[in-house]
Amino acid sequence: MRITVLAENTSRCGLPCEHGLSLFIETASKKILFDSGQSALFAENAARLGIDLGAADFAVLSHGHYDHGGGLRTFLRLNETAKIYMSRFAFEPHYNGAEKYIGLDAALADSGRIVLTDGVTKIADGMTLVSCNERDTVVAIDPAGLSRMLDGELIPEDFRHEHYLLIEEDGRRFLFSGCSHKGILNIVEWFKPDVLIGGFHLMKRPLDGALIDCARRLDAYETEYYTCHCTGAEQYEHMKPYMRRLHYASTGDIIIL
């Protein structure tokens, strides 16, 4: 499996970057766009890296926030056939606090290329989208100041619009999680993957003993972690000494698994 980071908050190779996430996944049988960042930058970087987005078999949107789905219109233009899989809750209005809208462009719902999912959805051989909305949690889900609109009122987020891409290949389980809003400790316990790629959504967490405890608990699983985006650079550095298999994925990085 080959994973190219098309857009992420940081860059070590000179490519431009932005707050957001976009990955291009190449398995033995499929090419997948996982998230599209917040702009057309993912596509510009793909072109710089020699990646043909028109060859993607399908796209997956991890959740309904602008920094993961802002480039979807660009993808629809560059790829004329691929479906985009997202949660049936992805187009709900999402906010940071009470004023800043952080959701998707609702007009995309009429593109004719969107496939709405819920629960467990098999999208190809060995590839499944799972929402985990009904799963028991080992830690409470933290809204982190985010909210969604329900019946005209803003309520704390439960992130029901977030789902995870599980790829099973060559006897290994690879899990892709855009932001892990439902709690990285919950997600690792639910799936126990061999490899997890995605953000941990710890960027607002203080650099304290609780974060070290989280690192130690994650390290207790036999999982290789490639994290990025909303984990936070300082939080990553704080956790790194306590995790044997923690890596950071920046814009332009290529991960071979």
Residue with structure tokens 């051989």?
Answer: 125
pLDDT of residue 97: 87
Place of tokens 């499996």: 1
The helices-and-strands tally (H runs, E runs) of the chain is: 6, 18
**Amino acid letter, residue 168:** E
Instruction: Indicate if the alpha-carbon torsion angle 211, 190, 96, 113 is positive or negative.
Output: positive
Break the chain into its structural domains and give their ranges: 2-256
Binned average pLDDT, 10 residues per bin, the chain of 257 residues:
98 97 98 98 98 98 98 98 98 93 96 97 98 96 94 95 98 98 98 98 97 98 98 98 98 98
CB 211 within 8 A of CB 231: no
CATH number of 2-256: 3.60.15.10
Tell me if residue 163 falls in helix, strand or coil: coil
- CA angle centred on 114, ends 255 and 144, rounded to 5°: 65
pLDDT of residue 39: 98
Residue 120 CB neighbour total at 10 angstroms: 12
SS3 assignment, position 134: coil
Rounded to whole angstroms, how far apart are CA atoms 219 and 224?
9
Q: What pTM did the predictor assign? A: 0.98
Tokens 């998707």 locate to 104
CA-CA distance, 72 to 113, in Å (whole number)?
11
> Which of 63, 10, 4 lies closest to 32 in space, CA to CA?
4
Determine contact, residues 179/9, Cβ cutoff 8 Å.
no
> Residues 56, 32: contact at Cβ < 8 Å?
yes
Nearest to 114 by CA among 173, 64, 160: 64
Task: Give the residue ranges of DSSP H helices in 63-219.
Answer: 66-69, 72-78, 184-191, 209-219
Whether 185 and 202 have beta carbons less than 8 Å apart is answered as no
SS3 257: coil
Write the DSSP symbol of residue 235: H
